[in-house]
Chain A
Amino acid sequence: MTTQSPALGTTGTEEKPLQPASPDRGRRTPAPKLARGQANWGVKILLVVLCLLWLLPTVGLLVTSFREPDAANSTGWWTVFTAPFSNWSVENYRQVLLEEDFGRAFLNSFVITIPATIIPILFAAFAAYAFTFMKFVGRDFLFILIVGLLVVPNQVALVPLLQLYARADLVGTFAAVWLAHTGFGMPLAIFILRGYMQTLPRSIIESASVDGASHFTTFWRLIVPMSVPALAAFAIFQFLWVWNDLLIALLFLGAGDNIAVTVRLAGLIGSAGQGWQLLTAGAFITISVPLLVFIALQRYFVRGLTSGSVKG
């Protein structure tokens, strides 16, 4: 927040020179009064402690992924720090990566996830725009209906969908999964995007309409650019849900040429849970992708996008 006490507020409120130029510098409109780097020590310590607590479980998993099952079964993962790097092994990773077809499954997961992220965002952005800025009969009813559907567990849809797909001969095709994720992700996408759009200044849309811009133009030229943070946020969530999904990929794609990486990993497990340690390595291989997406899209969570538009 920019709100320092007046005395502090007058000193370096621009980005600290200490900060290396961030990749988003180009997008950042002047952003005059940022409180960058003004956190006091209390805040810094609090955040550091929180981060450590948040990381702790993941570190446990990371360490375990480098241990052999005998060791993981008999001693705690933190014991590796008393005898660092003894008994470390990349065996789990080797086994997962050398698994037949792992590369293809990895590639497939991209083919599944990218359209299954973009299509619902596109559909939902149009719908959210209509729900926010247009007036039409049944608007509130439809909105409540859509969001009410959020509580419907996806499992109830699996059987009817399989029947539908079997009839349309879609089982095993990417389109089957894209459409399923589009449908299942839609209520939340509409809900989140509308929640964001209603915080946008309505005056902009009204002035655009006075200037004679059609809704279609307003949508693409004004609302989409202004909603970038929310679009990016939802893109992250949808991406990682689809990326981590097992059940839909298993049912609608199965194990043919189009097998997803989650299905491939689940196939490493024996009937009594043998092989669970491979999943620790698998978890870190697969986690890397949504994490990179998050880091890449983070540049859109910046101040100044809306104020820029107001002025522009």
Chain B
Amino acid sequence: MKGRSTTKIAALSVAALFTAGCLSEGGDSTNESGGGDDTSDGSIEIFGAFGGGEGDAFNDSLEAFREESGIDIEYVSSPDFTNAIQARVRGNDAPDIAIFPQPGLLVDLAESGDLVALDDVIDLDGLKETLIPGMVESTETDEGSFGVPMRMAAKSIIWSPAPEFEEAGYTSPTTTEELLSLTDEIRDSGTAPWCIGIESGPATGWVVTDWLEEYVLRIGGEEFYNQWVRHEVPFNDPIVVEAAEQFAEIAFTDGNVLGGRGSIASSNFGTAGNGMFEDPPQCYLHRQANFITSGDFFPSEVTADLDSQVTVSQLPPADDAGPAMLLGGDWATMFDADNAEAVQVLEFLASDQFGGEWAGVGGWLSPHTTFDASQYPDETTRAIFQFAVDAETTGVDGSDQMPGEVGAGSFWRGMTSWVSGQQELEEVLDEIEGSWPEG
């Protein structure tokens, strides 16, 4: 794959064409080169889903390690990661390390025997001591753990426009009751309290599944949440109905959402919150994960001066429970336990030493409570990181863990059709329950 001369390719292609033409007696000129053995050629290929600024930041975070270890690391990214990695793994062309944007597919591949259990390869117990609970556990099967977190997303974040929010005399809610009364107060003042948008092209719906998971985690608690994700309780359990109704109270009450319920499904998730930054604000509350400050979602004058432009709070817990945090992330895994260099790279990616450079760029959180928070670029990010560290209840994004039919299928689809008013809640939950694959 690397550094192969064009002449060789030319020779190969002629050979290939002749072979294709049945002239099989033609000498096979392909075996003399031999230079393409995948393992231990001093180069490690990492394949992941994130490119652009994130890919650059990832590469920068590896720079010091590259020099120190002498390992040549090549990072390849594609938005088609999910399909490409499945084809490559089944086609016996797996990269050395893959970074999955969700644990579900990783666990699928682990269960079909394509991945290496990491329990004996790296010191998972040591990692778990400083990792935020649930991050490694989400990649566990009966055979062991198959992935280590490289990045964390904190999802239970409510964003507000900073000066206007305080000028209007609003304060960040700490209980669900306060959240609801703040919602009423803003609405009665004549402005829509919330901006909510779930349109995300082929992935439309994931924002509502996050909302539902937020309340399943809060109302049902951590244990129930994990049982629900693993389908040890029915998908349409009464607690889930209650959670959905909590979201409906916020999102479907007339006047609560900018543009009304009808605009939720068609508003883009990335820019829906930008109504907050108009003058006067079109809305005051927007729930979205920390990554929303990276890239080009919020207006550039906001991201340039985050601390004075936004106020962040945490989606409040139910009743008198402690603070809860819904998490997302990226998980790194490997395919060959004997690849010593890959192990070295994986250990580094999983450690609390990784990511300083990326943290400085913004939009990236370490999954380690011990990560040096001074490396984050602003107070807002530090506050979000602290929310995650202090959370008493944590859960990893459920739709990311469920089987593809549900997590990237019926769950997204069902929630979207409920939000847009095409189907009733009960019908949707029953359908999702029915779509769960057997076994």
Contacts and interface: CB of A to CB of B under 8 A. Distances in A.
Q: Do chains A and B touch in the complex (CB under 8 A)?
A: yes
B30 A169 contact: yes
Interface residues of B, number: 48
Query: Main secondary structure on chain A at its contact with chain B?
Result: helix
Interface stretch (B161-169, B216-224, B288-296): B288-296
B400 to A, nearest CB: 12
B280 interface: no
B50 A257 contact: no
Contact of A175 (B16, B76, B296): B16
A178 B93 CA distance: 19
Nearest to B21: A123
A172 B294 contact: no
Interface stretch (B82-90, B255-263, B375-383, B401-409): B82-90
A179 B20 contact: yes
B52 A278 contact: yes
B53 interface: yes
A173 B9 contact: yes
A271 interface: yes
A274 interface: yes
Given A247-B84, A270-B53, A175 B91 contact: no
A175 B13 contact: yes
Interface in A153-178: 155, 158-163, 165-175, 178
A275 to B, nearest CB: 4
A174 B93 contact: no
A244 to B, nearest CB: 14
A179 to B, nearest CB: 6
Interface string A237-276: 0000000001100110011110000010011111111111
B130 interface: no
A69 interface: yes
B296 A266 contact: no
B104 interface: no
A74 interface: yes
B4 A257 contact: yes
Interface in A35-78: 68-70, 73-74
A43 B91 CA distance: 54
A227 interface: no
B93 A165 contact: yes
Contacts of A115: 13
Given A166-B93, A251-B87, A254-B76, A267 B52 contact: yes
Contacts of A174: 9, 13
B80 A266 contact: yes
A277 interface: yes
Contacts of B49: 271
Contact of B16 (A161, A170, A270, A275): A170
A187 B51 CA distance: 35
Contact of A162 (B2, B91, B274): B91
A275 B295 contact: yes
Interface centre among B274, B294, B295 (most CB of A within 10 A): B295
A172 B4 contact: yes
Nearest to B200: A273
Contacts of A272: 270, 291, 295, 297
Contacts of A155: 83
A232 B78 CA distance: 33
B23 interface: no
Contacts of B80: 246-247, 250, 266
Given A162-B87, A162-B90, A254-B1, 12 more contacts: A70-B299, A119-B17, A162-B88, A166-B93, A171-B1, A172-B36, A247-B83, A269-B51, A270-B294, A272-B295, A275-B52, A275-B296
5 contacts: A69-B296, A155-B83, A178-B13, A256-B2, A257-B2
Interface of B: 1-4, 9, 12-13, 16-17, 20, 30, 36, 45, 49-55, 74, 76-80, 83-84, 87-88, 90-93, 101, 200-201, 270-271, 274, 291, 294-297, 299-300, 330
